[in-house]
Amino acid sequence: MDLSVVRRKAATAALVAFRKMPGPLKRTLVRAGTPSYTVGAVCLIQHGDEVLFLWQPHRRGWTLPGGLLGWGEDPADAVRREVLEEVGLTIDPGQPLAFGVHAATQQIDVIYRVAVTDRPDIALATEARKATWWRLAELAETDLDTRRILDLVRRAGEPPATGTLTQEAP
């Protein structure tokens, strides 16, 4: 029998056995064999052409309100919680503006945009020490994560790149 046929049959048998396993065992096996990612949710709070930025001593430059998701937490709930904790604002984040998947650092960013008609009063809490409004074109130094997020925001208005077929099946 051809080796490729043996491999295909073995793979099929393994998948059938996997599907018959109890759910908790399947999840344990999948988690052990797949990469894990850290997921964060950030919010671009926009007043006209200005965006709210925060200064946090543990970061290298200005950042956006947001943070990491808790276990089982929805990104919209996480960004609501983080914005309330960091600047004292209650928001409805709506749908995400953009997503960033960074394989090298195993991070995923979920980015929301909230437009405000009047500048809200900011109540700094937790780790933020300063808050300011800047136009993106005039933005001073930001940390690496924030630069990456702002790049995704800039590209969010562009049409997505169309994929191409690179090789046909044999």
Q: The whole model's pTM is what? A: 0.77
- The pLDDT confidence band at residue 51, using thresholds 50, 70 and 90, is very high
Q: Evaluate whether residue 169 is within a structural domain.
A: no
- 96-125 burial string, b = 16+ CB within 10 Å, else e? bbbebeeeeeebbbbbbbbeeeeeeebeee
Establish if 17 belongs to a structural domain.
Answer: yes
Higher-confidence residue: 137 or 79? 79
Q: Which two tokens stand for residue 9?
A: 């049959």
Q: Which residue has the higher pLDDT, 107 or 33?
A: 107
Banded model confidence at residue 160, pLDDT cuts 50, 70, 90 = low
- Asked whether residue 112 is assigned to any structural domain, the reply reads yes
**pLDDT tens-digit readout, 97-149:** 999 998 888 899 999 999 999 999 999 887 888 999 998 877 767 778 888 88
Q: Which residues contact residue 140 at a Cβ distance below 8 angstroms, ignoring those fewer than 6 apart? A: 61, 62, 134
- pLDDT for 164 equals 66
Q: Residue 79 pLDDT more than 70?
A: yes
Nearest-10 Cα torsion for 71, 152, 158, 45: 80
Are 83 and 129 contained in the same domain?
A: yes
Indicate the pLDDT class of residue 58, thresholds 50, 70 and 90: confident
- Cα-Cα-Cα-Cα dihedral sign, residues 36, 39, 15, 1: negative
- What was the pLDDT predicted at 139? 75
Residues 28 and 84 both lie in one domain: no
Query: Quick check: is 167 in a domain?
Result: no
Q: Could you give the CA distance from residue 56 to residue 86 in angstroms, rounded to a whole number?
A: 10
Q: Indicate if 11 and 95 belong to the same structural domain.
A: no
50-74 mean pLDDT: 90
Q: Do 142 and 88 belong to one domain?
A: yes
Q: Which residues pair with 132 in a beta bridge?
A: 53
Percent of the chain with pLDDT over 70: 97
Rounded-to-integer distance, Cα 97 and Cα 55, Å: 23
Calculated CA dihedral for residues 28, 31, 33, 35, nearest 10 degrees: -170
Tens of pLDDT, residue by residue over 87-105, are: 999 999 999 999 999 888 8
User: Are 87 and 26 in the same domain?
Assistant: no
pLDDT exceeds cutoff 90 at 74? yes
Query: Do 25 and 78 reside in the same domain of the chain?
Result: no
Task: Please report whether residue 64 resides in a domain.
Answer: yes
Structure tokens at 87: 């600047």
- Residue type (1 letter), 137: A
Q: Are residues 72 and 119 in the same domain?
A: yes
CATH classification at residue 70: 3.90.79.10
> Residue 101's beta-bridge partner residues?
108
Mean pLDDT computed over 157-164? 71
Same domain, 43 and 57: yes
Residues 149 and 88 placed together within one structural domain of the fold: yes
- What's the token pair of residue 129? 């020490």
Q: How distant, in Å, are the alpha carbons of 46, 115, 117, 148 from that of 93?
A: 12, 10, 15, 20
Domain carrying residue 19: 7-33
Number of domains in the chain: 2
Task: In whole angstroms, give the CA distance from residue 87 to residue 130.
Answer: 10
Same-domain pairing of 29 and 112? no
